[in-house]
Amino acid sequence: MTESRVPTGKTLVIIPTYNESENIGKLLDDIFSLYPERLHVLVIDDNSPDGTAGLVKQKQTGNKRLFLHQRAGKMGLGTAYIEGFRYALEHLYDRIIEMDADYSHDPKVIGEMLEKSRTTDLVIGSRYIGNTVNVVNWPLSRLILSKMASIYTRLITGMPVFDPTSGYKCFKADVLRTLDFDKVRSQGYSFQIEMNFRVWKKGFTINEIPIIFIDRAVGKSKMTKKNIVEAIWVVWWLKILSLFRRL
């Protein structure tokens, strides 16, 4: 990606971490080698016992584009992103990217997201545009669960998003400024559904670009039964709130 393709203004990539010491170093190296000076990274670590934060601190040496927030314990994906959003708005970033730490999201796609964000308020890296399925190394049971969750969400909410649980996204800062973060209740993967829904109900434009999602090669998945149960009821909660205009 060349400098000229990146929209003007600063971009912040937010990466929540918990026990990602086997992945975070390579990911940071690749992001900083691919992108220009005005792209910064904020890692939000939930007190990982495997030393993830220590590795990030090593990468900070001589790098003024890398920031680290350490939290006292495992506080959840949603609260990590909300903390990152608040930081981004406070420090006047123009675009904010959500990204997983496990290298399932190819950093090369950031450039395409930024280019698409010239004309779109929220860009989502989608595994399931139309009838396609771009997922590598997932067990069939996990793939079916994810795909069915997408169909279920579209059916209940009416939201025109093929991959509402995707964690690879680019927001314009002006979009996030309109949202009341104190009203966001979801954690886990349902956080992605809730944020998309709130953006959609505000009337902002949402577009999906195809990505190839490659399941982590090292480390452990953070998916839990609690995440699944939450995602099931959150879509109904959001629909009811929207009916009564309480979003």
Taking the domains of the chain in order of start, what are their residue ranges?
Answer: 7-243
6-44 tens-digit pLDDT: 556 799 999 999 999 999 999 999 999 999 778 999 999
78-116 tens-digit pLDDT: 999 999 999 999 999 999 999 999 999 999 999 999 999
How far is the CA of 149 from the CAs of 13, 210, 217, 229, 230, in angstroms? 26, 18, 24, 11, 11
Query: pLDDT at position 187, please?
Result: 84
Nearest to 100 by CA among 233, 223, 232, 225: 223
CATH class, range 7-243: alpha beta
